[in-house]
Chain A
Amino acid sequence: MEALDPIFLARVQFAFTISFHIIFPAFTIGLASYLAVLEGLWLATGRPVYMQLYRFWLMPFAIAFAMGVVSGIVMSYQFGTNWGPFAEKTAPVLGPLLAYEVLTAFFLEAGFLGVMLFGINRVGPKLHFVATLFVAVGTLISAFWILSANSWMQTPAAYLVEDGRYVPESWIGVIFNPSFPYRFLHMTLAAYLTTAFVVGAVGAWHLLRNRQNQPARVMFAMAVGMAAVVAPTQLVVGDLHGLNTLEHQPAKVAAMEGHFQTQTGAPLILFGLPDMEAGETRHEIGIPKLGSLILGHSLDAEIVGLDAFPRDEWPHVPTVFWSFRVMVGIGLLMIAFGAVGVVQAFRRRLFDAPWYLRWAVLMGPIGFVALLAGWFVTEVGRQPWVVFGLMRTADAASPIGAPGVATSLLGFIVVYLLIFTAGTAYMIRLMAHSPEMPSDEAVEEGPIRTAGIMPGPAQDHQHQHHHHH
């Protein structure tokens, strides 16, 4: 009857709603910055191609943003509906962080999104650029606060216990808790990478149809450039994040590595089947001593295994182990893609090799998979704690019975699958429409005067619409 355990259901509900939610902010963090860069380049150079690209990406951005907003409202209430005791005990520390997120980020984003989407004819290009910048900065500020809150749950610091509540001792200590800088950097780069691969895939898709598609060439080159620089950077940042985790949450790292036994000269396990019952990783394929070298910076360093921790403080090892491999595997694939892209660019074949363009198309959604896998590593790896070392997840749930949680979970699944399917389909349809402007329009009018901010597809739509009447 474990499936009907209300706490388990509440965890599934939180995992489902937050996993769904994070896809959209990750994409909009990246896209907002990309849009700001495009509009800035357009203002600086006057080249119409940048405005074409801006318009092209604005509509998918609007859809992703709306889905992020509505699924985010759900998150802001779920601590109360399903995790009341957690909310009460951590509110002195976490409450202000979330309140600051709303005050410094959400209002900024929402306030200027309207101007960004609908306002260019009303405010002029420079002010419109300021609006885009504010939205982009807003997405980063939002990431700052929410990752600070999440990091405090992973590595709680600078708190006292008063009346059974965790009360802040120093705000700087709370906000800049030990894992926060790494997590913030890691997540921001992940958002940028994820977006770059979507942009690259869309550019490649249009290039496969027409190699001379100018906006597609520009976006593809920009995306490959991002991948070439950011993917290796992410490897370094991820490694630093891992070492930080080793210091503060060694059990999580042991689960990531599949190390059940504490040992010197530990291997780097590439694959294997972690067996929690038996307390060993079966059929392991590893590289001897490399684990010690990476984690301990010496071939014979002692690496702590799960046997150093009580059995009831282990996370679910297979989930952590496999999620970690998915994330790292995709990361390596991204680095390879970027490196090949650099070679292709030097050979002046970046836009001409169909196999590379097809590879780029396939890589399109892969960032989202890595992103979710990474969150599974860190969140499942934190279990059985909701606040690491302080509060168990089992003690954090509201007294809602299984039927109630099951019903709400079913509601979320149905509604989210519906809007996910529709939203993704609409976004893909927008992306599939060529970003090239009809050439007569481009010649006759300057970019500012061509029907405001509306992209090609919507204009077509408008024409059909008027015929219709």
Chain B
Amino acid sequence: MLDMPTIWAVIIAVALLAYVILDGFDLGIGILFPLGRDRDERDTMMNSVAPVWDGNETWLVLGGAGLFAAFPLAYSILLTAFYAPVIAMLLALVLRGVAFEFRFRTRRRESRNYWDWSFIGGSAVAAFSQGVMVGAFVQGVAVENGVYAGGWFDWLTPFTVLCGVSLMVGYALLGACWLVIKTEGPLQRRMRNLQLPLGAAVVLLILLVSFGTVLENDAVRDRWFSFGSLWFLWVVPLLTLLLAAAYFFAVRADMEVVPFLLALGLFVASFAGLAVSLYPYLIPPDITYREAANADDSLTFMLVGAVFLMPIILGYTVYSYWIFRGKLRLGEGYH
């Protein structure tokens, strides 16, 4: 049934997915930043995303504003429930975002080191917090009378920590694959060497988180394993497996672009797995996206704009990536 809330659930899901795969690789570069051996390598790593990073983070703003606009109840309850990780993520994003400019404006080595660490720490904490929130979301949120009724630290469990670590490793994988595309020489070689171990770790973590999800959330377990469960859902894990196999093949074949695309594919598949597991709940375990939706009139008004503007946005986003395609040219970007 294609009503307004459903259309908007799809749009918000796509925006969040776009955020995860776009900001994912630039957060990943922050996580891998300590592996840059000298100033030149670190400059190169940062410059490989400098023209696009704030476009990438705009998807997070769309996620926030879109959730407010389309599912205000979820916006209010989830952000209140995840207060600590949300604030940690925001502060971390502040510290890493300014590093893109500040790092190149320093004169002394110590102050540059300082912004390097703010970039590294900020990227790592942002990634970890996001993973923790995904985990806490899967676990479910205590709600009474439309208000968050849980405790301060409901979001902190072994499962959510596992999710946090997983997302960090996943982003690092995307970052490594991106750098293989954008760089040459020793830095590229080191990133290539990371592709196998990081890929293996990600596959292992996807498995662990999947089992964890099934254990944490009874509804999810029933969906996948009970009698009469929807067998076609198993396309998603199968696809994930195929993508993983293709990824390792592509890495072995020394391809540059394909492993990155397949790694993105792994993220899309995991996201799809999560979506079909939790559908139709937006505030698990009880509140569906329809119950959390904004007034129909507001959703319609926004849809008019979204239908018209989204293709344009995608158009110039692709254009801007196209302008900066290829290996990083010597002397380009900040120094």
| A18 interfacial by beta-carbon distance below 8 Å | no
> Do A412 and B65 contact each other (CB < 8 Å), given the known contacts A81-B80, A104-B305, A400-B83?
no
Chain A residues positioned under 8 Å from B80 (CB to CB): 80-81, 84, 398-400
Chain B positions 133 through 154: 1 when the CB is less than 8 Å from some CB of chain A, otherwise 0? 0000000000000111000100
Asked if A99 and B66 sit within 8 Å, CB to CB, the answer is: yes
Asked if A458 and B69 sit within 8 Å, CB to CB, the answer is: no
| B235 interfacial by beta-carbon distance below 8 Å | no
Asked if B86 and A77 sit within 8 Å, CB to CB, the answer is: yes
Bound-state Cα–Cα, A73 to B53, Å: 13
> Do A76 and B61 contact each other (CB < 8 Å), given the known contacts A87-B68, A87-B72, A87-B76?
yes
Q: Distance in Å from the Cβ of A290 to the closest Cβ of chain B?
A: 45
Asked if B332 and A118 sit within 8 Å, CB to CB, the answer is: yes
Asked if A99 and B302 sit within 8 Å, CB to CB, the answer is: yes
Residues B148-204 near A (CB distance < 8 A): 148, 152
Q: Distance in Å from the Cβ of B75 to the closest Cβ of chain A?
A: 4
Bound-state Cα–Cα, A112 to B315, Å: 12
| B52 interfacial by beta-carbon distance below 8 Å | yes
Asked if A62 and B90 sit within 8 Å, CB to CB, the answer is: no
For B52, the closest partner residue in chain A by CB is A114
Asked if A87 and B75 sit within 8 Å, CB to CB, the answer is: yes
Asked if A77 and B69 sit within 8 Å, CB to CB, the answer is: no
Asked if B62 and A73 sit within 8 Å, CB to CB, the answer is: no
Bound-state Cα–Cα, A92 to B302, Å: 10
Asked if A80 and B79 sit within 8 Å, CB to CB, the answer is: yes
Asked if A103 and B309 sit within 8 Å, CB to CB, the answer is: yes
Q: Which of A66, A71, A91, A95 contacts B100 (CB 8 A)?
A: A66
> Do A118 and B302 contact each other (CB < 8 Å), given the known contacts A76-B65, A426-B102?
no
Q: Which of A66, A88, A123, A452 contacts B72 (CB 8 A)?
A: A88
Q: Distance in Å from the Cβ of B112 to the closest Cβ of chain A?
A: 11
Chain B positions 241 through 273: 1 when the CB is less than 8 Å from some CB of chain A, otherwise 0? 000000000000000000000000000000000
Asked if A92 and B298 sit within 8 Å, CB to CB, the answer is: yes
> Do A80 and B97 contact each other (CB < 8 Å), given the known contacts A88-B73, A112-B320?
no
Chain A residues positioned under 8 Å from B64 (CB to CB): 73, 76-77, 80
> Do A423 and B98 contact each other (CB < 8 Å), given the known contacts A95-B68, A111-B55?
yes
Bound-state Cα–Cα, A103 to B98, Å: 23
| B227 interfacial by beta-carbon distance below 8 Å | no
| A165 interfacial by beta-carbon distance below 8 Å | yes
- Interface of chain B: mostly helix, strand, loop or mixed: helix
Residues A59-77 near B (CB distance < 8 A): 59, 62-63, 65-67, 69-74, 76-77
Interface size on A, residues (CB 8 A): 76
Chain A positions 80 through 94: 1 when the CB is less than 8 Å from some CB of chain B, otherwise 0? 110011011001111
Chain B residues positioned under 8 Å from A426 (CB to CB): 101-102, 105-106
| A276 interfacial by beta-carbon distance below 8 Å | no
Asked if A458 and B294 sit within 8 Å, CB to CB, the answer is: no
> Do A419 and B95 contact each other (CB < 8 Å), given the known contacts A85-B76, A404-B84?
yes
Chain A residues positioned under 8 Å from B127 (CB to CB): none
Residues B50-104 near A (CB distance < 8 A): 50-52, 54-55, 57-58, 60-62, 64-70, 72-73, 75-80, 83-84, 86-87, 90-91, 93-95, 97-98, 100-102, 104
| B317 interfacial by beta-carbon distance below 8 Å | yes
Q: Which of A87, A104, A465 contacts B309 (CB 8 A)?
A: A104
Q: Distance in Å from the Cβ of A467 to the closest Cβ of chain B?
A: 13
Tell which of A103, A165, A401 has the most Cβ of chain B within 10 Å: A103
Chain B positions 105 through 148: 1 when the CB is less than 8 Å from some CB of chain A, otherwise 0? 11100000000000000000000000000000000000000111
| A441 interfacial by beta-carbon distance below 8 Å | no
Chain B residues positioned under 8 Å from A95 (CB to CB): 65, 68-70, 72, 294, 298, 302
Asked if B152 and A114 sit within 8 Å, CB to CB, the answer is: no
| B297 interfacial by beta-carbon distance below 8 Å | yes
> Do A399 and B148 contact each other (CB < 8 Å), given the known contacts A69-B97, A98-B65, A103-B306?
yes
| A391 interfacial by beta-carbon distance below 8 Å | no
Asked if B87 and A115 sit within 8 Å, CB to CB, the answer is: no
A-B contact count (CB 8 A): 233
| B324 interfacial by beta-carbon distance below 8 Å | yes
Residues B2-42 near A (CB distance < 8 A): 39-40
Q: Distance in Å from the Cβ of A114 to the closest Cβ of chain B?
A: 3
| B301 interfacial by beta-carbon distance below 8 Å | yes
| B333 interfacial by beta-carbon distance below 8 Å | yes
> Do A423 and B102 contact each other (CB < 8 Å), given the known contacts A84-B77, A110-B54?
yes
Q: Distance in Å from the Cβ of B146 to the closest Cβ of chain A?
A: 8
For A59, the closest partner residue in chain B by CB is B105
| B1 interfacial by beta-carbon distance below 8 Å | no
| A12 interfacial by beta-carbon distance below 8 Å | no
For A72, the closest partner residue in chain B by CB is B61
> Do A91 and B298 contact each other (CB < 8 Å), given the known contacts A99-B69, A115-B320?
yes
Chain B residues positioned under 8 Å from A121 (CB to CB): 332
Tell which of B105, B106, B297, B301 has the most Cβ of chain A within 10 Å: B105
Bound-state Cα–Cα, A57 to B296, Å: 45
Chain B positions 288 through 318: 1 when the CB is less than 8 Å from some CB of chain A, otherwise 0? 0000001101100110011001100100110
Bound-state Cα–Cα, A74 to B62, Å: 12
| A39 interfacial by beta-carbon distance below 8 Å | no
Chain A residues positioned under 8 Å from B324 (CB to CB): 114, 118-119, 122
Bound-state Cα–Cα, A76 to B319, Å: 26
Chain A positions 110 through 132: 1 when the CB is less than 8 Å from some CB of chain B, otherwise 0? 11111101110111000000000
Asked if A117 and B51 sit within 8 Å, CB to CB, the answer is: yes
Q: Distance in Å from the Cβ of A164 to the closest Cβ of chain B?
A: 10
| A167 interfacial by beta-carbon distance below 8 Å | yes
Asked if A63 and B105 sit within 8 Å, CB to CB, the answer is: yes
Asked if B83 and A91 sit within 8 Å, CB to CB, the answer is: no
Chain B residues positioned under 8 Å from A107 (CB to CB): 55, 58, 62, 313, 316-317
For B107, the closest partner residue in chain A by CB is A461
Q: Distance in Å from the Cβ of B50 to the closest Cβ of chain A?
A: 7
Asked if A92 and B295 sit within 8 Å, CB to CB, the answer is: yes
Q: Which of B51, B102, B105 contacts A115 (CB 8 A)?
A: B51
Q: Distance in Å from the Cβ of A82 to the closest Cβ of chain B?
A: 8
Asked if B57 and A73 sit within 8 Å, CB to CB, the answer is: yes
Chain A positions 443 through 469: 1 when the CB is less than 8 Å from some CB of chain B, otherwise 0? 000000000100000100110010001
14 contacts between A and B (CB under 8 A): A63-B102, A63-B105, A66-B100, A71-B94, A79-B68, A84-B77, A95-B294, A101-B65, A104-B309, A106-B62, A110-B54, A113-B55, A398-B76, A458-B335
| 4 tightest A-B CB contacts, nearest first | A95-B69, A114-B51, A80-B79, A91-B72
Beyond A69-B57, A95-B68, A404-B84, 5 additional contacts (C-beta under 8 Å) are A91-B69, A96-B305, A103-B62, A114-B50, A114-B320
